[in-house]
Structure 1
Amino acid sequence: MSIERITLSLEGMSCASCALSIEKALKKIDGVNTVNVNLMTEKALIVGTDLEPSMLIQAVKNAGYDASLDSVEKNKEDLTKNTKIYQVNGMSCAACAINVEKALKKIPGVITANVNIATEKAHVTIDPDIASERKMAEAVQNAGYELVINQNSHSLDQDDSQQKLKKAKSKMIWAWTIGAPLSLLMIFHMSGLAIPYFDAISLIASFIVIFVVGKDLIKSGFVAILHRSFNMDVLIFLGVCASYLSGILSIFGEQIADYSVVGAMIMGFYLIGQYLEALAKGKASEAIKKLISMNVKTANLINENGDIIEIDAKNLVVGDVVLVKPSQAVPADGIIIEGETTIDESMVTGEFLPKTKTVGDRVIGSCINQSGVIKVRITSVGEDTFLSQMIKLVEEAMGTKVPIQRFADKVVGIFVPFVLIVSLATFLFWILDPKTTHAISLWGASILPWVNPNLNALSA
């Protein structure tokens, strides 16, 4: 599959509205990713995959204008070479990933966008001549999330991962340290046992669990509403707030049951899910972290004068000559130009026995030199090394969605707004009956907390 850039000559345009009409007509064709119609030059640049010029011309004619083929340019390079991996912060569920994908796909030059909630990565295939990383970051920010562009594509911070896991565990423990005894008190109270100041105790304890321990969820849900992004956070945010509101109303004498404790329990279950998710993410990235740890830190560079200088391996360039002594790792991919040795390539081949290498043989970076002293001319550095390509392939495999995950994304995208509509409809329907006015908030709000455990399962 290759990227195609097709230019059409247009006739019949008279204003910006005409250009917009042509853009809309062309974007409806399968395979079209970006369209740029220039009114001044009367040209249309279409970028996409597997495009048929005749179909593009016919689409323009159907819109009421004339078009002819100007040029066709095909990029034969593999699309993966134009695929970049970005860290995405602020996501909490499958609906968040969908929102980020939609935001990225609206940017001119973005061909495909695949966001994986498990790895918090966005795999974006772009046309480098059109796409702007700054616009991509702004679009994601406007959707309520953060796209990190100035970061190595496979740099995973183990300390950050452990910090997130520790934070999630701490929140879960605090929530249930307060929530578990509170739930027992509620059961005893509902059984008829008189508990002094139970209403006040439940409100204060629930407030701590919902708005202090769960403040990140509250903030995320509020921001999502501001950005009109209906995800799992919105449902839980509305559910726990509605539950807590029932407690406030009941303490002031309204004829409504106090469900503030239920809101605290929902937050507790949510935080359990967050902890398990952080635990799973840590395990999922463990293989990549092990690969990254194999990168060589320093290299013995032989300069033009023949002197040996120890430098950072990241500063090597293609053509440099390095000296590799026994028990040292080869700093980058290269070709032996002097010496003979045996190399342990078990990290690549899985073979236990080392391989004999001599002048003209290729060596792979990070493999251990076991016996002789060799001089190696560097042929690949940075992202082009074998180890970096291995890491990239593993990350791409982790970032690729399996069919069931795509199905779950679609379900969540429909499920969240559906539940909100049903909840609102229930509220509006019963408000028409004056006899049931006292239970309106209970009936309307009860739908939101009930679906939260189900949505947690969908977003996992």
Structure 2
Amino acid sequence: MVFKTEKENMSTVVFDLKGMTCASCAMTVEKSLKKIPGVKEASVNIATELATAVIDPNVVSEREMAKAVADAGYELIISHEKKEAEKDTYTEKVKEAKLRMIWAWLITGPLALLMILDMTAVVKVPYFNLINILVSFPVIFIVGYPVIRSAFVALIHRGTNMDVLIMLGVTASFVTGILALFGMNIADYSAVGAMIMGFNLIGNYLETSAKGKASEAIKKLLKMSAKTARILDKDGKETEIAVEDLAVGDTMLVKPSEKIPTDGVILEGDTTIDESMATGESMPIRRTIGDKVIGATVNQMGFLKVRVTNVGDDTFIAQVVNLVEEAQGTKVPIQTLADKVVGIFVPAVLFIAAGVFLFWLLDPATGHRIMLMASSFLPWVNPDLGIVS
């Protein structure tokens, strides 16, 4: 948790979130946070996977907020569980999304070609129905497992998201293959279900890549900070410690060309400091005894003794990161409008699909087309509003 401002006992905090896949997920998390006593405002940004909330810390705790989000089927990262971005989690997510996309199309590509050949009667593929089922199953239920899991989690928690539409569409398509295999008069569309999952995984990969780029600014800022600091202990001996272990009042030793570990005041020394990362000033600035220095700036010339004045969330770099996170977590008016639409979009699509199912059910002559007509409406309508929002 990062405290940003305090006014009338209210604090603005920012949390990382996990498990969200679409704007509908963000709306669900936002509603769960707003229901908690002590939470005045809450805003969730799907692009950055950040939740920004105005709370009364005397009324609500971060664990209560984490539990409320967990009850909705998602995960909120509380402060002592959050590691300051040393590990590039988005890089791992992008790699996984890319791998799933590649595997999906390595399997589905040949299947799609066989389907075209079979439909055009160029080549009559023996046991094509069985091949469809055997090849489609791993694409839909193994490679596409995160989508299926996300949909079931949403349904278990009495919610809906875009993955619910995909799951219902591809599952219904797969079931047509099973029914056809057992002799029912119904066309086999299990291969189409695999293709739909493949296209959806392409979208997931592009979305994950975009989210990773949205957090690049914060990563670059955090990488600017020094990792260790040399201090004088009580006996006057020089000791190297992690920057996180610095305390206000410690005396840091900074050699020429080294980064200043954290904010402080010069006790001894005269130097010039490159403060371009903080102020944009292209020329080094002269600093001497009594002057304040900023963490992560570069000492260029002299040897310095610096007394620590700010650590942790009170440092200049931390405040800049907080401001960037707050800006990323804030919604523009058009996004707020889009989220309201998305809130009713998925239920509306499910309602229309059910209506299509019932409509075709009334016509016995075309009863075998019921599942096709209803299921085909579900996945293809998904990107139209979900991606735009």
TM range (shorter): over 0.9
Of 290, 311, 318, the residue aligned with 1:360 is 290
Q: 1:181-226 CA deviation, whole Å, 9 max, x = no partner? A: 2112212222123211111111111111101110111111112111
Cα distance change, pair 79–171 in 1 and its aligned pair in 2 (3 A): farther
| 1:163 corresponding residue in structure 2 | 92
Contact persistence 1:79–1:125 (CA under 8 A): no
Counterpart Cα distance in 2 of 1:394 and 1:215: 34
Asked if 1:324 corresponds to 2:247, the answer is: no
Q: Which amino acid aligns with 2:356?
A: T
Cα distance change, pair 265–455 in 1 and its aligned pair in 2 (3 A): farther
Unaligned runs of 5+ in 2: none
Q: Which deviates further from its counterpart, 309-318 or 450-459?
A: 450-459
Counterpart Cα distance in 1 of 2:120 and 2:77: 53
Of 81, 88, 92, the residue aligned with 2:17 is 88
Of 285, 300, 309, the residue aligned with 1:370 is 300
Asked if 1:310 corresponds to 2:240, the answer is: yes
Q: Which amino acid aligns with 1:167?
A: E
Cα distance change, pair 458–258 in 1 and its aligned pair in 2 (3 A): farther
Counterpart Cα distance in 1 of 2:68 and 2:8: 23
Q: Which deviates further from its counterpart, 128-137 or 90-99?
A: 128-137
Asked if 1:124 corresponds to 2:53, the answer is: yes
Contact persistence 2:10–2:56 (CA under 8 A): no
Cα distance change, pair 152–345 in 1 and its aligned pair in 2 (3 A): farther
| 1:298 corresponding residue in structure 2 | 228
Superposed CA RMSD: 2.0
Q: 1:137-177 CA deviation, whole Å, 9 max, x = no partner? A: 11111111111114477822444222211111111001011
Asked if 1:230 corresponds to 2:155, the answer is: no
SS, match of residue 380 in structure 1: coil
Of 107, 114, 134, the residue aligned with 1:178 is 107
| 2:281 corresponding residue in structure 1 | 351
SS, match of residue 106 in structure 2: helix
Contact persistence 1:158–1:289 (CA under 8 A): no
TM-score by length of 2: 0.93
SS, match of residue 176 in structure 1: helix
Tell me which stretches of 4 or more aligned residues in structure 1 moved more than 6 Å.
Answer: none
| 2:70 corresponding residue in structure 1 | 141
| 1:265 corresponding residue in structure 2 | 195
Shift of 1:447: 1.5
Cα distance change, pair 186–209 in 1 and its aligned pair in 2 (3 A): same
Cα distance change, pair 88–424 in 1 and its aligned pair in 2 (3 A): same
Relative contact order (alpha carbons < 8 A, sep ≥ 6): 1 or 2 greater? Answer: 2
For the pair shown, which has the larger CA radius of gyration, 1 or 2? 1
Between the two proteins, what is the percent identity of the paired residues? 58
Contact persistence 2:342–2:386 (CA under 8 A): no
Counterpart Cα distance in 2 of 1:456 and 1:245: 26
SS, match of residue 255 in structure 1: coil
Q: Which amino acid aligns with 2:206?
A: L
Contact persistence 1:365–1:385 (CA under 8 A): yes
Contact persistence 1:86–1:153 (CA under 8 A): no
Q: How does 1:191-210 map to 2 (within 5 A)?
A: 191-193=120-122, 194-210=124-140
SS, match of residue 114 in structure 1: strand
Q: How does 1:437-448 map to 2 (within 5 A)?
A: 437-448=367-378
Q: How does 1:387-402 map to 2 (within 5 A)?
A: 387-402=317-332
Contact persistence 2:353–2:377 (CA under 8 A): yes
Counterpart Cα distance in 2 of 1:457 and 1:121: 18
Counterpart Cα distance in 1 of 2:197 and 2:80: 33
Shift of 1:304: 3.9
Cα distance change, pair 307–203 in 1 and its aligned pair in 2 (3 A): same
Counterpart Cα distance in 2 of 1:114 and 1:410: 13
Cα distance change, pair 152–139 in 1 and its aligned pair in 2 (3 A): closer
Asked if 1:335 corresponds to 2:271, the answer is: no
TM-score by length of 1: 0.79
Shift of 1:268: 0.5
Shift of 1:78: 4.3
Shift of 1:432: 3.2
Q: 1:388-437 CA deviation, whole Å, 9 max, x = no partner? A: 11111112222222233222222221111001001112222332343433
Asked if 1:249 corresponds to 2:173, the answer is: no
Q: 1:314-335 CA deviation, whole Å, 9 max, x = no partner? A: 1122222222221222111111
Q: Which deviates further from its counterpart, 80-89 or 132-141?
A: 80-89
Shift of 1:281: 2.1
Q: Which deviates further from its counterpart, 289-298 or 437-446?
A: 437-446
